[in-house]
Structure 1
Amino acid sequence: MPATPPQADSEAIGRFFQTREQKTMFMKSKQAILSGFAVAVLASSLSICTLNARAADDFDASTIAKDSALASRVPQDIAAKGVLSIGSDTTYPPAEFLAGEDGQTPEGIDVDLAKAMAQRLGLKLEFVTAQFDSILPAIGPRYDLGISAFTITNERYKAVDFVSYFNAGKQWAIQSGNPAKFNPDEPCGKTVGVQTGSTGEKAVKVFSDTCVAAGKPAIETVSMPKQTDLITRLINGAVEAVYAGSTNIGYAVKQTNGQLETIGAITYPSPNGIAVAKGQTAWAQLVADTINGLIADGTYAKILAKWGIGSAAVAKAEVNPAVQE
């Protein structure tokens, strides 16, 4: 879920920026999906009030057997407590969100993957809801891992190590019919929603700075901690567009019954990663080996298929892969 922006395609850049210098400045800066997102009409506004997803029961983590060889490599402090603690911002469907009869049960791609990892390592799972921008600083002291659709970036590498497990790009969402006449190739002067601390937020800042440098009005950025709140604002017309991860945007569009649509192409997919405390190389490698085992036995494919995003799969999980961002 999202520290420089993804690259835009060259044709779009050519339409938006009129000079070579402006182009150069920009370039240097830079799922079946389930039933859910019940939309309530209250007075003159719409809000996303519940998310109660139910997938075909083709993945059951309880059937995954412990791998004794992998379990023997679990760090001593984690093995002693017998619990794998995960920090995650559970407002980012379909990666992670709260659902179930009580509306407080974590579900999603990342949740299923964490369950599978915990089973394979012989650990119980503690999946903890946290604000997105608070997770990475707490990896190690508070959480054993961070799994929250984190785009792997060189900036984030300064704080944590990563294990790649998923690919996602960036996408714009707008109200259906585009009543705000939003043009992703020229977002200057528009009101755009972004999640606080995300790569989408930083990308939009660069877009805005480039607008100003070109003598155009800045983008008015609305930054919020919860992605679901941004989708609600977009439905209500409080923002003209939302810029976020392509899987999240695609899911939101499908779950809001025709009220939203995407605009523009998905820009340059980049790996998402599981965050591991900086310097814990052996632990990071164990996480990668565990995921690769799930890839090899078909469990990983089942999880992605359950959420309708098999095209985002990686062939192999890697520790600290090279990235452009």
Structure 2
Amino acid sequence: MNQKPYFSLAASAALLALAVTGCGASGTASETSAASGGDTTAPLYQSVPEEFRDGITVAVQVNAPPLSFKGTDGTAQGEDPELLAALSKQLGIPIKIEQVSFENMLLGLNQKKYDFITQTNITTERMKIYDQLSQFNDGYNFITLKSTADFGSTIDDLCGRTIASQTGDQATEYLQGKSDACTAAGKQAIKLVQLPSLPEGYLTVASGRAEAAVAPTSTLSYFLSQEKQQLGKEWKLTGPSILSVYAGYSFPKGSKLITVVQQGIDALMKDRTYEAILTKHGLSENIADSAQVNPTPPSAE
């Protein structure tokens, strides 16, 4: 597939307020990305399974700009919703977006409330439960206040640190494992402050309840590209880069929908709509070469 693991920071342009105030969707809100009713002339309409012809329901978290955020009109905006709107045109099927928290996305998928969910990393463990479609490259970094001493560049330098992380995220699981390695080596554990959303992690660091927050590089690049001060503080990256990852969509195991969604994303890649959407949102370094069903994830190290 020749997907490029991503660690560097790409500049992003968007509104500062959306990084902090356009978040916190623990409930749900919905909107439809295309006019109701199917378009039988769409390129992939005939390939959509009959049970999805009336519409597809997708869960999106709206607190991770520039991937997705809640606009001033209350609708989901950003790279993710725009790509879903383009996919809807390829399929000729309306896509209804449900705005939910990351934790509730996974719970809702387990309960089959959603046909698929976005912004999920592709992992071996998740593929035991879900079918996954990769279409995005990312990684993780740590962010802290500019006044905080640098952590150092190795995983061992995280031992004894207090880190804010998102509940259910791959980085949280990874750091829990590294914390065990710290204590096994006679060092202090990594203390994780688990929170429902990334903006809450920033607030936790700003208030001094954590020394740093861990988050996808794509969202940190956006956060750092904003005005010099956020939450009344100046910020910087610290510590090592971790977890080169493939990310994308997760479907219930055995979903009949994943193949045609893969075809739709590949078509958007081929006609460069996908590239244009990611580049618009400062995500050119996250571009994948193809969409792939249940790919082998990069090494966790």
TM-score by length of 1: 0.76
Query: 1:142: which partner in 2?
Result: 113
| 1:274 has 2:249 as partner | yes
Which aligned runs of 4 or more in structure 1 are off by greater than 4 angstroms? none
- Cα distance in structure 1, aligned partners of 2:112 and 2:42: 26
Q: How many Å apart are 1:155 and its aligned residue?
A: 0.7
Q: 1:240 is matched with which residue: 201, 211, 219?
A: 211
The Cα offsets for residues 1-39 of structure 1, whole Å up to 9 and x where unpaired, read as xxxxx9x9xxxxxxxxxxxxxxxxxxxxxx652232339
Query: 2:151: which partner in 1?
Result: 182
Compared with structure 1, are the counterparts of its residues 167 and 67 closer, same or farther at alpha carbon in structure 2 (3 Å cutoff)?
A: farther
Taking only the aligned residue pairs, the percentage that are identical comes to 27
Query: 2:65: which partner in 1?
Result: 93
The Cα offsets for residues 242-295 of structure 1, whole Å up to 9 and x where unpaired, read as 112111121122235242111245335221021122112x42111111001001
Contact map agreement 1:170 1:266 (CA 8 A) in 2: yes
Q: 1:204 is matched with which residue: 155, 168, 175?
A: 175
RMSD over equivalenced CA pairs, Å: 2.5
SS at match of 2:257: helix
SS at match of 1:293: helix
Contact map agreement 1:175 1:237 (CA 8 A) in 2: no
Letter in 1 for 2:63: T
Q: How many Å apart are 1:181 and its aligned residue?
A: 4.5
Query: 2:136: which partner in 1?
Result: 166
Bigger Cα Rg: 1
The Cα offsets for residues 197-247 of structure 1, whole Å up to 9 and x where unpaired, read as 001111111121111111111122110011111112223332111112111
The Cα offsets for residues 179-205 of structure 1, whole Å up to 9 and x where unpaired, read as 255335311221100000001111111
Compared with structure 1, are the counterparts of its residues 50 and 88 closer, same or farther at alpha carbon in structure 2 (3 Å cutoff)?
A: closer
Runs of 5+ in structure 2 lacking a partner? Answer: 24-32
Query: 1:317: which partner in 2?
Result: 291
Q: How many Å apart are 1:67 and its aligned residue?
A: 5.7
The Cα offsets for residues 73-94 of structure 1, whole Å up to 9 and x where unpaired, read as 1121220x2x221112211122
| 1:36 has 2:29 as partner | no
Q: How many Å apart are 1:99 and its aligned residue?
A: 2.1
Letter in 1 for 2:235: L
Compared with structure 1, are the counterparts of its residues 181 and 314 closer, same or farther at alpha carbon in structure 2 (3 Å cutoff)?
A: closer
- Cα distance in structure 1, aligned partners of 2:115 and 2:174: 29
Letter in 1 for 2:75: T
Compared with structure 1, are the counterparts of its residues 172 and 118 closer, same or farther at alpha carbon in structure 2 (3 Å cutoff)?
A: same
Q: 1:262 is matched with which residue: 224, 234, 237?
A: 237
Query: 1:105: which partner in 2?
Result: 75
- Cα distance in structure 1, aligned partners of 2:21 and 2:85: 26
- Cα distance in structure 2, aligned partners of 1:320 and 1:225: 26
| 1:285 has 2:259 as partner | yes
TM-score by length of 2: 0.82
Runs of 5+ in structure 1 lacking a partner? Answer: 1-5, 9-30, 40-46, 52-60
Contact map agreement 2:144 2:236 (CA 8 A) in 1: yes
Contact map agreement 2:151 2:158 (CA 8 A) in 1: yes
Q: Which moved more, 1:138-147 or 1:153-162?
A: 138-147
| 1:118 has 2:92 as partner | no
Letter in 1 for 2:141: Q
Letter in 2 for 1:302: A
- Cα distance in structure 1, aligned partners of 2:153 and 2:166: 18
Q: How many Å apart are 1:69 and its aligned residue?
A: 4.1
Query: 2:51: which partner in 1?
Result: 77
- Cα distance in structure 2, aligned partners of 1:256 and 1:221: 28
Compared with structure 1, are the counterparts of its residues 175 and 73 closer, same or farther at alpha carbon in structure 2 (3 Å cutoff)?
A: same
Q: 2:270 is matched with which residue: 293, 296, 302?
A: 296
Letter in 1 for 2:62: T
Q: How many Å apart are 1:150 and its aligned residue?
A: 0.9
The count of residues paired between Structure 1 and Structure 2 equals 272
SS at match of 2:178: helix
SS at match of 2:228: coil
